[in-house]
Amino acid sequence: MSEPLRIVIIEDEAAIRRFLRASMGPDEVEWFEAESGGEGTRLVAHKNPHLVLLDLGLPDQDGLEVLRDLREWSQVPVIVLTARGKERDKVLALDAGADDYVTKPFSIAELLARIRVALRHAARVIPNTEAAYEASGLRIDFEARQVFVDGEEIRLTPIEYRLLSELARHAGKVLTHRQLLRAVWGPAYEDSTHTLRVHMGAIRSKIESDAGYPRFIRTETGVGYRLIPEEL
């Protein structure tokens, strides 16, 4: 890699900033640290980072506010750090434009995987031009509108196909129920979780062979769905 990644971390816990810095050396990542939302926003403006890690539980300002501020002028990928049991906060953050989240306590491996996915999505300038999606035995041909599992074609209804391809276009990234419903059914259906569950169930029964060990679709309870990319 020619230049190190620039990551801004907005987190009030010094110990967390320290281990993040230690987990990725200076040749890989150039860290910019902020303890408060205001400081963090200024850093993002000045350092033009590749990625932002944002703690939702900041003492001075609601992390969500920081995120909304940022999103008014920046499309930098943001991964939020949240506590367990704060599913509502996660959903609010994702709907407000966060790219992903990790729940504290998190492992470095998990965070690195999230960072990779977020950076890959950011790097793709026009995301909808790829002709096909292919990972771990699932292949979606966007032009022919065909879906294959281990080379065998799977017949999906039009709604099921749109749901699956929406997930595939954001592979590895969690999509909230609201985001999926809006993309497939339209803004008027944002709260129809029941409908979403029915169709996701139908897709799962068609593409997953073992209900206990899904290969392709991960449920993020209380938040949304994620298509599992190869590396996770």
Partner 1 sequence: MKAHGDSIDGAPSFGLAVLVVGLATALNALLVSYLALANLIMVYLLGVTYVASRCTPRAAILASFLSVAVFDFAFVHPSGTFAVSDVEYVFTFFVMLVVSLLISSLTVRLRQQSKARAEATMQAEIEQMRGDLLSAVSHDLRTPLASIEGSAGALLQQKELTEQSRQLAGTIQEESVRMAQLIRNLLDMTRVQGKIDLDLDWYALDELLANAILRTASMFDHPVRLSVTPDAPLARVDGVLLEQVFVNLLENASRHAGRACQVDIELRGSRGRATITVSDDGPGLEAGSESRVFERFMGADTRGFGLGLAISRAAVEAHGGSITASNRAEGGAMFTMILPAGEESTP
Is residue 174 within 8 A of residue 93, CB to CB? The reply is: no
Cα–Cα distance measured from residue 101 to residue 79, given in angstroms and rounded to the nearest whole number: 5
CB of 124 to partner 1, least distance (A): 28
Which pair of structure tokens corresponds to residue 147? Answer: 């879906």
User: Smallest distance from the beta carbon of 110 to partner 1, in angstroms?
Assistant: 9
Give me the least distance between CB of 179 and partner 1, in Å please. Answer: 15
Q: Please give the Cα distance from 50 to 101 (Å, whole number).
A: 16
Residue number with CB closer to partner 1 (70 or 223): 223
Nearer CB in complex with partner 1: 75/209: 209
The least CB distance from residue 81 to partner 1, in Å, is 9
**Residue with token string 């990319």:** 229
* Min CB(217)–partner 1 separation in Å: 9
Nearer to partner 1, 15 or 188 (CB): 15
Q: Left, alpha or beta for 136 (phi > 0: left; psi -120 to 50: alpha)?
A: left
- Nearer CB in complex with partner 1: 106/142: 106
Sheet of 138-141: strand order equals: 132-135, 138-141, 146-149, 152-154
Q: What is the CA radius of gyration of the chain?
A: 18
User: Closest approach of Cβ 144 to partner 1, in Å?
Assistant: 29
CB nearer partner 1, residue 119 or residue 228: 228
* Smallest distance from partner 1 to CB 101, Å: 14
Q: Name the residue with tokens 């989240």.
A: 101
Q: Which structure tokens are listed for 218? A: 């991960």
Please name the residues in contact with 215: beta carbons below 8 A apart, sequence gap of 6 or more: 136, 137, 138, 208, 209, 228
Tokens (6 digits) for 172: 């590895």
Binding site for partner 1 (CB under 8 A): 13, 15-16, 18-20, 22-23, 83-85, 87-88, 104-109, 193-194, 197-198, 200-201, 204-205, 210-214, 218-219, 221-222
By beta-carbon proximity to partner 1, the closer residue of 96 and 202 is 202
Closer to partner 1 by Cβ: residue 85 or 186: 85
SS3 helix, strand, coil % of the chain, rounded to 5? 40, 25, 35
Phi then psi for 143, rounded to 5 degrees?
Answer: -80, -45
